[in-house]
Each structure stands twice: as C-alpha cells, then as structure tokens.
Amino acid sequence: MTAVVETEGLTKFYGKRRGLEDLTLEIHPGEVFGYLGPNGAGKTTTIRLLLDVIRPTRGLARVLGADPRDAAIRGRIGYLPGELALEGREKASEYLEFLAGVRGGVAKGRIEALAERLEADLSVRMGQLSKGNKQKVGLIQAFMHEPEFLILDEPTSGLDPLVQQEFLAMVREVRTAGRTVLMSSHVLAEVEHVSDRVGIVRRGRLVAVEDIAALREKAVRKVELHFDAPVPEEAFRDLPGVRELKVEGASLRCTIDGRPDALIKAAARFTVVHMVSAEPDLEEIFLTYYSEDVHHAPVGA
Amino acid sequence: MPLLVRKTLRDYRRALIGWTIGICLFSGMYTSFFPQMRENPDFYSQAALAKYPDGVRKLMGGLENITSGTGFLQAVVYQLFVPLLFTMCAVVLANRALAAPEESGTLELTLTLPVDRKRLVLERFAGLAVALLVVAVVSLAVLAILGSAVGLDVSFDRILAAHTGLYLLVLLFGTLALAVGAATGKKALAMSVAGAYAVVGYVVNALSADVEVMKWLNVFSPFHYYSEGNPLVNGFPIGDYLVLLAATAVLTLTAVLSFDRRDVGV
Ligand SMILES: Nc1ncnc2c1ncn2[C@@H]1O[C@H](COP(=O)(O)OP(=O)(O)OP(=O)(O)O)[C@@H](O)[C@H]1O
Ligand SMILES: [Mg+2]
C-alpha cells in the first residue's frame, strides 16, 4: 500500500523565517494522524505545503501517490483551512453547491444531512455567519464529497462541546470506512480519542511521532492503594517505574511510568482493600515535548 | 459556461449592476445635452474654448467641433470621462478576481479545489472579460438609442467601432490589474500600477502632438491605439485594436505564469 502522505526533508522558509524544516513523515492509509504543536510550530505550513498552496523551499512531498501540484488529486482530498475565511452575500448553501460542483458533485441530500448533524444553518449569508458556524460550513465542505483523505487544520476551533463530539464521531466513521485523516491541534486531549498516531512539531521541527496506544502505556498515572493494615515503605521502594512514593500508615500513593506490573506484584503480598488509578495523563508527556528541547525522542514513522 | 466563470460573474453581479448604471447615467446625461448645444453652436464652442486654458483643453482632447454630433460624442463620451470611469470599473473588478480574495483569505479554499492554477487564472480572466463586455454592451445600447433620440446623427457602426475600442482599452487596464494581483497578491499595488499607467498613458497621448518625447513615449500608451484611428469618423482601426488585444493577451499570459509559480497568501 502506498502512503497517503510521504515527505522527505520537506522544508519551508518564509524569507529568513523558518516555517518548517526537514520534515520526514509518512501517513498510512486508513489511519487518523494527529498533528500537534504549539502556536507557530509549523502545522499550517505543513498542511499548506501538502495542498500546494505554498511551495517548499526544498524537500519532497507526495500526497496520495502524486505530486501536490497535480490538481486532479485535490478532488480526492477534503480540506478545512486553519484560518477559514468565508465572506460575501452568498448563502452558505449556494457556496457549498458551487464547491460540490467543482469537485464533481456530491451525493444528493449529503449536504443537508451534514448540516443537520452539525446543526448548521445554511440559509445565512456567508459574511454573517458566526465563527462557529463558519467552522461548520468548513467542515461540511471538507466531508461532503467523502474524500479519501481529510486534512483538517484545527477542526474543533470555535465549536461548542456538543458539536465537537459530533465532529469526533464523524472522524471515527471516516476511519471505520478505511479513509485517512490528518488533523492538527494544539492539545492532545482533542485528538487522543480518535487518533492512531500523533506527530509533535515544535519550532518547525518534528520532535516525535508516537503511537497513541504506546503513549498511553508510557503515560504517567497516579495510583492510590489502601491496605487493611499499615505497610512498610521498604516493600515498595525502588520498584521499576514507581515514583513519588508516599506511604502513610495503611495507604500508599505514587505515580507510575508505564506498566503498573511491579507495583501490583509488590502490593499483592498485602491485603488491598481499595485501589484508585487515574486516567493516564498523556497531556503531561506531551507538555514535556512542548517545553523542552527533545531531540532524543523517536522520530519517523 | 465553466463553473468558475459563472461563479465569478455571480460574485460580480451587484458591483456590475452598479457600474453599468453609473456609466450609462454618466454618458447618457452628457449625450442628452446635445440638443442645447446644437441650438447655440457659437455660444458653446466659444464657451468651451474660453472656459479652459490651452493646456487643459489639450488634455481634454482639443474640444474642437463639439457642435457636430461626432465631435460632441468624442468630447463628452469617448475622450476622457467615460474611459476613466470604465477603467476604474475594470480595475476594481479585476482586483476582485485574485488579489482581493487572496488578501481576505478566501482564495485558499478555491486553490485547493481540483482546478489547475493556470485554469483558475484563465477562468477569472474570462469572468472579467465577460463582465466588462456586459457593461460595454449595455452602455453601447444606451448611447445608440439616446444618440438617435437627440439627433446626434452618428451612424451605429461608427459608435460600435468607438465602443469596441473603449472595451479593449479598459480590458487592457483591467488585465494589467489582474496580472499585478496575480503576481503579487496585493490589491493596492495592482490598483496603483493600473491607475498610474492609465493616467500617464492618457497624458502622454494628449500631449504627444506638441511634445517630442511624448510622441516617442506614445507607442507605449494604450490611449494612442485607442484614439489614433479616430473610429467615430473612420470606423474600425483594425491594426490599433489588434495591438490593444495583443497587449491584453501578453498580460494574461504573464498573470497565468506568475500566479502558477508562487506561494499564495504569504
Ligand atoms: N506568511 C508567512 N510569512 C512569514 N512567516 C510565516 C508565515 N506563515 C507562517 N509563518 C511562520 O512560520 C512558522 C510556522 O507557522 P504556522 O502557521 O505553520 O504555525 P502553526 O503551527 O499553524 O501555528 P498555529 O497553531 O498558531 O496555527 C511561524 O513561526 C510563523 O511565524
Ligand atoms: Mg495554524
């Protein structure tokens, strides 16, 4: 199977300003790829390069097996711009029909169905749409022709929580149908429940590509154990992966890196009456990528 | 008609109606003064000569013979004001083809449609050409009808010849604005370049009879090819009009090639 996106040393400088440097990345068919990074990291730059809105300073990109300059492939892509601008007196529904027409038409009733799901009012003139409603129109146009590959630049910005949930459901359906998604975001929480993999960019460089399942395994989680009698601290000291250990009488608190196996086995020697384990906090790992210069992190597909 | 051309025209619709009404009102109003002028030929030609100093009169095309139908039409419609107004219309509409949507950010989504960039520019150019043609045809009809109503006594084929020149002239300036917009994405720049070229071109042409340098420079002035053949008197100056058309074609090609090469929205 050919990769949906394949880049090699993809680099973009805006004059002297670095937008993106040396991006080598592969996105596989059927996966949802979360593209994460703080403001100005280079997410939009990457996406615009893939869509041939801007041209690389050097490096290569292939999308759906073709050069991004090949206009024909863009009919197989659905794109939501990060800075979506819609204006004018035209009604949203007319604009959507125009876009559908240029892309060779969409299934009958498809636009209406999407509008209903996202609760978008398409009879409003585009210049008068609220921010959230613009975003909905943007989502509808990206999804309506059931493209093989969806590129969504900060898709959830401006959406209220209920609509965000609906949107995530739409992404899951796309994945179930075997199609591919690239979506960018500032926060992991937005993409972690739908993504298979995430890539993290900082200051124009890809600093990590992680499998979400693997990330979850590595994640720090807080654990609390309560025993029927006080336990000795020595029994838990120096267990692999256990940090911030605090034993107070019959209760134990710690954080775990990765697997809780060693802790569980150590605890099994005593009588556990109660155990609390918080959801792994991926955000915490993620923030370390944001704030430090992480060069040793695994890079590549 | 291709979808993108249709869409361009739909986007132009309101502006187009406004400009058409404006240009028709303007030329219609002036044309309707003709009967008064004919009643008092001496008074008006004296007034015209007296009212403006020599230099200004030259800039306005001499203002001779304004009491004949042909001279009158030339002076009040084809000489200065209508070309000026129509050029403004062309430049404003041309900017809405690429530069304005690029500045506002709406061009990004259009670019990601399965449409080749070259074709996008060509279709936007076609939309502009059709839009300007609409203004030209409507104003031609108004002029022809009103002209015969007030007894201008200029035959339709002469008016058609002059109007064709007017159309080609403004299409050239519009295409220049389109090309600058396509190459740079800046609408203020596109408007300034096209506007400056129109003004300088006009002045050069008006003064070319008297000033030697201007005569040489005049080969670069679109107004030279527009007015040299005096189409209201002699009919179609085919060669001159072909020059205008060729320049438009070159500019269109420039627009296509330069837009195809660059980053958009940067
Ligand atoms: N048109 C431009 N001209 C100059 N520099 C630019 C331009 N667009 C982006 N940059 C620079 O390139 C870098 C990457 O920007 P980009 O828009 O790709 O970031 P991003 O990850 O999308 O950020 P955000 O989360 O804020 O949308 C930034 O430093 C930015 O200042
Ligand atoms: Mg961005």
Q: What is the pLDDT of residue A291?
A: 67
Q: What is the pLDDT of residue B72?
A: 86
What rounded mean pLDDT belongs to chain B?
A: 90
Give the model confidence (pLDDT) of B143-191 as tens digits: 999 988 988 888 999 999 999 999 999 999 999 999 999 999 999 999 9
A:89-118 residues touching chain B, CB 8 A cutoff: 89-90, 98-99, 101-104
Measured distance CA(A200)–CA(A183) in Å, rounded: 12
More confident residue, B57 or B11: B11
Q: What is the pLDDT of residue A9?
A: 96
Q: Is the CB of A37 under 6 A from ligand 1?
A: yes
- Among all bound ligands, the one having the nearest atom to the CA of A41 is 1
3-state DSSP of chain B: CCHHHHHHHHHHHHHHHHHHHHHHHHHHHHHCCHHHHHHCHHHHHHHHHHHCCHHHHHHCCCCCCCCCHHHHHHHHHHHCHHHHHHHHHHHHHHHCCCHHHHHHCCHHHHHCCCCCHHHHHHHHHHHHHHHHHHHHHHHHHHHHHHHHHCCCCCCHHHHHHHHHHHHHHHHHHHHHHHHHHHHHCCHHHHHHHHHHHHHHHHHHHHHCCCCHHHHHHHHHCHHHHHHCCCHHHHCCCHHHHHHHHHHHHHHHHHHHHHHHHCCCCC
Percent of chain A with pLDDT over 70: 92
Q: Is the CB of B105 under 6 A from ligand 1?
A: no
Task: Provide the 8-state DSSP code for A147.
Answer: -
Contact B264 A54 (CB under 8 A): yes
Residue of A nearest to B10 (CA): A90
Give the model confidence (pLDDT) of A176-223 as tens digits: 999 999 999 988 888 888 999 999 999 999 998 989 888 777 777 889
ipTM for the complex shown: 0.86
Give the model confidence (pLDDT) of A265-277 as tens digits: 999 999 999 999 8
Q: How far is CA A241 from the centre of its chain?
A: 27
More confident residue, B63 or A126: A126
Nearest Cβ partner of A75 from B106, B114, B119?
B114
Measured distance CA(A51)–CA(A25) in Å, rounded: 15
Counting from 1 in the atom list of ligand 1, the atom nearest the Cα of A12 is 12
Q: What is the pLDDT of residue B69?
A: 84
Run of H or E including A95? helix A92-102
Contact A103 B266 (CB under 8 A): no
pLDDT tier for residue B51 given thresholds of 50, 70 and 90: low
Contact A77 B111 (CB under 8 A): no
pLDDT tier for residue B56 given thresholds of 50, 70 and 90: low
Give the model confidence (pLDDT) of A144-172 as tens digits: 999 999 999 999 999 999 999 999 999 99
Calculate the alpha carbon distances from B202 to B80, B177, B205, B217 in Å: 9, 17, 5, 11
Model pTM?
Answer: 0.87
Q: What is the pLDDT of residue A296?
A: 46
